[in-house]
């Protein structure tokens, strides 16, 4: 069952597409000419872990989602087929404080059946705070 | 700066300790005799991804948190020192639907400075839907 | 192009099937009733890293290979279709000294198109020294 | 016990420093001005897997070693303290054939106690065939 492409506004942004996106509160930018998806999140108390900084799970979530949308753009910019993560590894380089963070994806290899996508997460000052690498597959093709 | 142990109720449960825990809505059980932390989440629409099932990022979050709390219990059951993830890998074995899921951690190796902790995520029917493996360090020791 | 199954002796062992196996010198046991492949290697100076213990890359190699053969057994015990690793993560729990080490695989999930397989590496005393987790695909199916 | 730095020739190359390096046959270049270590290997039949291409374990080995040497250079270019891998993830993007391959490392973050290092493996035509990401610690500091 191929899925409908997400609703994208005139600025190339996706808002509140899924329950998870609404819950966490990020915005997805799929309109950049380089074909790489970006996620933006205004980090506040709601996203904190026991140390008072951005929860590692949310970091993984932003990275994984940025990579997934980047894969959708890579395979078909218009239809944006949904991607499924098979495996995802996050490296937590440094604590990430409040303010507007950005996650961005980059396809490193693969083909129509499998894509390898890396991601970077930068804090409000542009500092690299986490990296991720995942293996993805388009959802339309059954497991 | 050693941190205060979390507030644990008579049943061994931690509720809403952090912003992230409140936002996602899980409950943490650190009172089991085997010393393994368990996280429980009632999965609903708020946790869905583009495919209508539990978002992979939330799966990673539950696994990472279950592993972190398991490390705290392992190092000092009373003080529960905070753990920092250095690296975390999630394998997404199968889609995870609605209902009460459970993530559980297990220490596989390491010492006072570094712990290796694996996790399992099971859906409401007890089926294994994701596994995780991470490298952790107690927070009190600075990077 | 489906490949021929490997040559297996009466004891269920594979010797020197590939250049890499001959070079490193492990033996593969695919004859156990539990369907899990085991690799055995007599670790000596040739396998040492800068610290004089088993090189991490050889640990990853033994784990990855044990997982791959376990996947072959899982899919078809007789034909043993070749498996391709898409992603592999190794956790290095403890240094591994000389003597006979064993790597063993275990399928955790997946189906005909993708398998998730974990591995354990134990030293000559049976101590767990490394764990691994990988995503695999049968080779016959093109990327 | 801090270790002696490796023997480096006038061209900045390390030959046969360890048993594993001699066995596999790579050359390590630690003399480049960018401070990134490179490993070179002439891939032949001895390095083949069941598919007749470079064994994934050897790919992981080259990547892990390139990352480790890059960490040594990063911490102290002269002393080159030995690095220990805590965790290493390899993504296998494409099959890697015969000829001279190169693995190269790049520090992405961390400090004196922990380093995060990524690696790339390119085949004889310069094509990216595998990527890796690891968490490292200097060996002199005990676990």
Q: Is residue A8 part of a domain?
A: no
By three-state DSSP, how is residue D99 classified?
Answer: strand
pLDDT tens for A10-49 read 999 999 899 999 999 999 999 999 999 999 999 999 998 8
Q: Does B19 touch chain A (CB under 8 A)?
A: yes
Band of pLDDT at residue D95, cut at 50, 70 and 90: very high
Distance CA A73, CA A82 (A): 10
Q: Does C109 touch chain B (CB under 8 A)?
A: yes
**Contact criterion met (CB < 8 Å) for D128 and A108:** yes
Q: Is residue A70 part of a domain?
A: yes
Domain that residue C98 falls in: 13-138
Please give the model's pTM, rounded to 2 decimal places: 0.95
Strand D83-92 to A115-122 pairing = unpaired
Q: Is residue C86 part of a domain?
A: yes
For residue C23, report the phi and psi dihedrals to the nearest 5 degrees. -65, -50
Is residue D81 within 8 A of residue D112, CB to CB? The reply is no
User: Residues 6 or more apart from D34 whose CB is under 8 A from it?
Assistant: none
By three-state DSSP, how is residue A89 classified?
Answer: strand
Task: Determine which of A50, A61, A138 to mutate to test the interface with B (most B C-beta atoms within 10 Å).
Answer: A50
Give the closest of B93, B110, B118 to C109, CB-based.
B93
Is residue A130 within 8 A of residue D118, CB to CB? The reply is no
Give the closest of B89, B93, B133 to C110, CB-based.
B93
- Pick from B125, B84, B126, B87: nearest CA to B104: B126
Mean pLDDT on D82-109: 97
Q: How many domains does chain A have?
A: 1
Band of pLDDT at residue A3, cut at 50, 70 and 90: low
pLDDT score of D8 more than 90: yes
pLDDT tens for A53-77 read 999 999 999 999 999 999 999 999 9
pLDDT tens for C122-131 read 999 999 999 9
Q: Which residues pair with B136 in a beta bridge?
A: B85, B115
Can you list the positions of beta strands (E) in D13-127? 13-15, 27-29, 38-43, 83-92, 99-110, 115-122
- Pick from A8, A5, A39, A4: nearest CA to A24: A39
Chain D CB contacts of B142 below 8 Å: 113
Question: CATH no. for residue B76?
Answer: 3.10.129.10
What's the distance, CA B6 to chain centroid?
Answer: 14
pLDDT score of D2 more than 70: no
Mean pLDDT on C86-109: 97
What's the distance, CA D136 to chain centroid?
Answer: 12
pLDDT tens for B62-78 read 999 999 999 999 999 99
**Contact criterion met (CB < 8 Å) for C48 and D20:** yes
pLDDT score of C141 more than 80: no
For residue B140, the model assigns a pLDDT of 66
Q: Is residue A111 part of a domain?
A: yes
Band of pLDDT at residue C82, cut at 50, 70 and 90: very high
For residue D73, report the phi and psi dihedrals to the nearest 5 degrees. -65, -40
Q: Please, what is the average pLDDT of chain B?
A: 93
Q: Is residue C5 part of a domain?
A: no
pLDDT score of D141 more than 50: no
**How many helices (DSSP H) and strands (DSSP E) are in chain C?**
2, 7
What's the distance, CA C47 to chain centroid?
Answer: 16
ipTM above 0.90, yes or no: yes
Helix or strand (DSSP H, E) at C90: strand C83-92
For residue B143, the model assigns a pLDDT of 41
Q: Is residue D52 part of a domain?
A: yes
Residue where the block lists tokens 């390899």: D90
Q: Which residues pair with B105 in a beta bridge?
A: B119
By three-state DSSP, how is residue C69 classified?
Answer: helix
């Amino acid at each position: 069952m191929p899925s409908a492409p997400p609703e994208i506004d005139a600025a190339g942004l996706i808002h509140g597409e899924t329950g998870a996106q609404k819950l966490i509160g990020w915005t997805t930018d799929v309109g950049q000419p380089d074909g790489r998806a970006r996620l933006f999140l205004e980090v506040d108390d709601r996203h904190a872990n026991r140390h008072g900084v951005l929860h590692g799970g949310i970091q993984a979530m932003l990275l994984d989602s940025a990579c997934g949308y980047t894969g959708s753009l890579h395979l078909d910019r218009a239809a944006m087929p949904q991607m499924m993560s098979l495996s995802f590894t996050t490296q937590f380089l440094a604590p990430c404080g409040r303010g507007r963070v950005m996650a961005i994806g980059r396809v490193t290899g693969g083909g129509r059946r499998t894509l390898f996508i890396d991601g970077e997460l930068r804090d409000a000052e542009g500092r690299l705070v986490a990296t991720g690498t995942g293996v993805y597959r388009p959802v339309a093709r059954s497991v």
